[in-house]
Structure 1
Amino acid sequence: NNVRKKKVYEQQENEENPLRCPVKLYEFYLSKCPESVKTRNDVFYLQPERSCVPDSPVWYSTMPLPREALEKMLHRVKMVKEINVALLTS
């Protein structure tokens, strides 16, 4: 029987520094999402609303971020990390 068990990962709350706490950041992200997507589990990264300001109650649309856009952002993050590592080790 080759049944895979679903892995569960637990993220601990950073009570010492709430501004760097992944749990608090996720809760804040959810607070800026439309109500209709808060209970969905088939989409995580949402497209930002085009006309939003910091005081807006909703920052994201109900549309998922396209895979290509996510890949582009992750590639940029990876490049910045590689540059920082190169600068620190040279």
Structure 2
Amino acid sequence: MTENTENLLRCPVRLYEFYLSKCSESVRQRSDLFYLKLDHSCVPSSPVWFLPTPLDDVTMEAMMVRILTVRGLQVEDGGDE
């Protein structure tokens, strides 16, 4: 995936780097975890935002359904994103 240097807030490379920066060091060393549970006790200034616990299958499925539903609605409306 290429870096979007024109808009860093929409750059998948930068977003992934930011996501990793908010994970604990122990999680960053692992290659078997990716989607982690949010630590609801954190605040924006917290160094770590995610727990070292992967999202469960039910949560992942619900997220995918929402994403695909929104995408479908945007396509129907003629939106590009």
Q: Over the residues paired in the alignment, what is the CA RMSD in angstroms?
A: 1.3
- TM-score, normalising length: structure 2: 0.90
| Aligned counterpart, 1:56 | 46
Equivalenced residue count is 79
| SS of the residue 1:53 aligns to | coil
Using the aligned pairs only, state the percent identity.
Answer: 52
Q: How does 1:1-90 map to 2 (within 5 A)?
A: 11-88=1-78
One-letter code aligned to 2:31: N
Per the TM alignment, residue 36 of structure 1 is displaced from its structure 2 partner at its CA by 0.6
Whichever of the two has the greater Rg, that structure is 1
Question: How far apart, in 2, do the equivalents of 1:69 and 1:52 lie?
Answer: 20
One-letter code aligned to 1:86: E
- TM-score, normalising length: structure 1: 0.81
The runs of 4+ residues in structure 1 deviating greater than 3 Å are none
Which sections of structure 2, spanning at least 5 residues, go unmatched? none
Which sections of structure 1, spanning at least 5 residues, go unmatched? 1-10
